[in-house]
Amino acid sequence: MGVDKFRTQDIYKDAGKSVNFTTLLLNRKDQGAEKEVIQDMADRIQAIKRSVTIRSNGASLGIAMGFSRNAWDYLFPGAKVPKELEDFTGIKGDKQDVPAVAADIFLHVRSNDESVTYTVVDQIMGFLRPITTVVDETHGFHYEQGRAIIDFIDGTENPVDEEAVEWGVIGEEDPDFINGSYAFAQKYEHDLDAWRALPTEMQEKFIGRRKFSDIELEDDEKDPAAHNILAQDNRDGVEHKIVRMNVPFAEPGKGIRGTYFIGYARYWDVTKTMLTNMFEGNDKLLDYSKPITGQLFFIPSLDTLDAIAEDEL
């Protein structure tokens, strides 16, 4: 059995205009009852997607649901474990650290219609709400011209098409979990007032690209700690990639502006290397950005969801 993008959940770059990220903790009061709800949800989630898609008239609905290592061990104690699934405990940096926030279940729902996104999350949570507590719920949106909230174009170097499958989907290296993916979810808040006070030329040096045209700067034009230098994994002369999305969120009345980063990867080690490089290398963007959450989740394939539903793990 090989990689089949039609047997994955929705892990490709299709951020949509309305995005909901919800992370949950299981109540851990009755493992058997909670597992039954999760099995039912594994069975229902694609049916919910099909039904809402029919009614939404082209809203481009995407859904991904995943489990942290702690949740996997609790719900499926006798099951095999995805090779790189671990309990994320944070990363130490010179100026600030990547925090680890405990979470069990991860939901990423997006569409081009806010009412569709709401309907799907509300239906899913109708089943999960009695057995979980919300850790974080973030509502993201499509910003001007597909830019990140820091005003630069997002995702230019993202892998697409077959390359996205190559770097975003688990393959034969872990045959029990083929077509799954490792998702790292992290929420940042930005000091946009300080960032926007910088001259455009300085912002460009810190990001490594032109702000208007999105053209990459020459290496000698970039700051040595530019974001697009450090946020990479170039081991052995090979650029290792992930499928990343930076989704803006905001509470402008409170002055809260931020980015929800989600990276889907075939190899969690690639994402972890990128994060380590950023925080140990003092990525210049981090002078204006504070990470406030972080956790790793395994996104099962549709076949693994079926196995969960049938209690066959």
| CA 61 to each of CA 11, 113, 169, 192, 247: distance values in angstroms, whole numbers, following the listed order | 12, 9, 20, 30, 16
154 is catalytic: yes
Which of 99, 146, 149, 144 minimizes the C-alpha distance to 285? 149
Cα–Cα distance measured from residue 78 to residue 231, given in angstroms and rounded to the nearest whole number = 37
Q: What is the number of other CB atoms lying within 10 angstroms of the CB of residue 2?
A: 8
Kindly state the DSSP code that residue 215 receives in the 8-state scheme. P
* Nearest residue to 158 (alpha-carbon basis) of 228, 212, 111: 228
The dihedral formed by the CA atoms of 228, 232, 238 and 242, expressed in degrees to the nearest 10 = -110
Locate 213 and state its tokens. Answer: 């045209």
Catalytic residue among 154, 191, 219, 220: 154
Tokens of 125: 């949570």
Neighbours of 285 (CB within 10 A): 24
Q: Return the closest-CA partner of residue 2 out of 269, 301, 239.
A: 301
Strands (E), the chain: 18-26, 62-67, 105-111, 132-141, 181-190, 243-251, 256-265, 289-291, 295-299
Which residues are identified as catalytic? 154
